[in-house]
Structure 1
Amino acid sequence: MEDFNLQESIKGIWDKLGGWLDSLILNLPNFILAVLVFILFIIIAKYIGRIFERITRKHIKQDSIRLMVVKVIKAIVILIGFFIALGLLNLDKVLTSVLAGAGVVGLAIGLALQGTLNNTFSGLILSFLPELQIGDWVETNGFAGTVTEINLRNIVIKQSDNNYVVIPNAKIIEEPFKNFSRTPRSRIFVSCGVGYESDLEMVRDLTLQVIKDKFPQRGNEEVEFLYEGFGDSSINYVVRFWADVTKNRDIIGARHEAIIAIKKAYDEKGVNIPFPIRTLDFSKNQLSIKNKSD
């Protein structure tokens, strides 16, 4: 009885293997075709990747992001070839199961890596934004410096003190940022004050001429001089003018040159730039403090 059952089991195994062999022989042409199609899509993905790499090189300066975009495109092409190959093998049920499983796994991964994916997609957006490029001087999230790197997770800013700041991409997308390098010229503000005895019209004309000579204006640009108010020891004003500026250092440099030129012109014309003076008055019984201007 046991020998009979063993023979039946062996016979069943051989019948099953024979059925699989027959099925393999019958589906061999489809299998070969599916393999060839899959290999063909791998080759196509390779050439498409090269084409996109050349195209994105003109628009994306960041190597890490450009390579990631090319890899994603190649992976999509290869996946299309894989699904077509499964269809040729009449594995529709397997294809449906793979898609369903991929959806569930993708959802789980998306929930687990929500913050990381947010930074990744933000990095892809930043890579195509002309408003932010490597080498630009920007102010964002309380930091200012030159953009040295943009990758799929963050941007790196080199501050004027030579320290680096790493800011997540999502912060850049969500928060406003100021880019000094997007415009070749910007307006500079210089504030000063002159003594109450000064001829205000002469001071205005002198200051305007000094700034115009030092910083030639272009097109519709003009130098503006406006008195702001009466101070404790001076009548204060602000002068505004345009200069070549692409980073914060240029602003400081232009303001530096303007201050030197204004001070030199005032010294030649005898214009007083007052400063507060504190006088100590020692009387017999008390000490009084008087403030006056020079």
Structure 2
Amino acid sequence: MKNYIGLIQEQGMWSKLSDKLYGWWDAIILRLPNLALAIVVMVVFFFIAKGLSAVLRKIFRKYLKNQSIRRIIVKIIYAITLVIGFFIALGVMDLDKALTSLLAGAGVVALAIGLALQGTLSNTFSGIMLSFLPKIKIGDYIETSEHSGFVHEISLRNLVLRRPDNQYVIMPNSKFIEEPFVNFSLANRSRIAVTCGVAYGSNLRQVEQLVKDAIASEFEQKVGERIEFYFTEFGDSSINFMVRFWTEFVKKSQMYDAQHKAILLINDVFAENNINIPFPIRTLDVSKEVLDRLGGRTGE
């Protein structure tokens, strides 16, 4: 009797399960047209997002010079378009309740993700800030306390620098934005300093005039600019000076090239006028007793 009752209960369970499965199958069959339409909607919005991104890139190239800002805006619009398509697809499938639950749970999920990914979100917001900063853009030559190079990419997570040796430095946006940096590309012209020294006894006024004339012959100084010459110190073996002048450069290699030319000019003009650039000299004062003692040893 117990076995018979158990068999009836088991048959009832299987009957309920089969009814449930058949109900789901019928629902799937009935919603197949909606599912197909939802897939079509997602595909259509995917191509809309692609086409809209391409159109915006062309428009932004004409009216928006900052390449990093263009990339960020295009990515945001692309993501928003896909999200809109996703919500429309849910509506087509009559999943309004699921959509409501999804939106209700989005806040909780966003909070949890925000707590778990504080560093990532910090880099993301820093990347957006960097993209909209007018003082830095892709192609600029910048120098931080540790690295220098050309800005290759500004993403939502990292800033990528291409160093002069063609190696790439990838640093988190949050770290970069908190540290000071020098952007050589902001100004077309900058001032360069070259230091040197001349021997004691040199005609200092002649030295000053010769250096100024030599620099002026190679580096044109525009309105408001001038060549500055200063004797800086009485050194151990020379009287040292510094000459400062303006030239065009937007990257370090151009600065090095200008310094190279200036050093050659100064060396040549000193050689032509018999002005000595001394090397460090050490004078030894030896007493007569020591000399006599050394002489005696030599005689032995």
> Which of the residues 156, 176, 181 maps onto 2:180?
176
The equivalent residue for 2:240 is 236
The equivalent residue for 1:146 is 150
Pairs within 5 Å for 1:43-62: 45=49, 47-57=51-61
> Which of the residues 83, 99, 102 maps onto 2:103?
99
Contact 2:72 2:131 in 1 (8 A): no
TM-score normalized by the length of structure 1:
0.73
3-state SS in 1 of match to 2:185: helix
TM-score normalized by the length of structure 2:
0.72
Contact 1:136 1:147 in 2 (8 A): yes
> Which of the residues 77, 98, 101 maps onto 2:81?
77
Amino acid at match of 1:164: Y
Pairs within 5 Å for 1:110-149: 110-149=114-153
Note the residue ranges of structure 2 that are not aligned, 5 or more in a row. Answer: 1-8, 25-33, 292-300
> In structure 2, what is the Cα distance between the partners aligned to 1:50 and 1:161?
33
Contact 2:142 2:150 in 1 (8 A): yes
Contact 1:60 1:127 in 2 (8 A): no
Give the number of equivalent residue pairs.
287
Amino acid at match of 2:109: V
Greater share of strand residues, 1 or 2?
A: 1
3-state SS in 2 of match to 1:197: coil
Q: CA deviation at 1:262?
A: 0.8
| Aligned: 1:265 with 2:269 | yes
Q: CA deviation at 1:87?
A: 7.2
Q: CA RMSD in A?
A: 4.4
Contact 1:227 1:237 in 2 (8 A): yes
Q: 1:247 to 1:34 in 2, by over 3 A?
A: closer
Identity rate of aligned residues, in percent? 54
Contact 2:154 2:160 in 1 (8 A): yes
Note the residue ranges of structure 1 that are not aligned, 5 or more in a row. Answer: 21-29, 288-294
More displaced 10-residue stretch of structure 1: 107-116 or 51-60 = 51-60
> In structure 2, what is the Cα distance between the partners aligned to 1:203 and 1:197?
11
The equivalent residue for 2:209 is 205
Contact 2:160 2:169 in 1 (8 A): yes
Contact 2:202 2:275 in 1 (8 A): yes
Q: CA deviation at 1:32?
A: 11
Amino acid at match of 2:201: E
Q: 1:86 to 1:279 in 2, by over 3 A?
A: closer
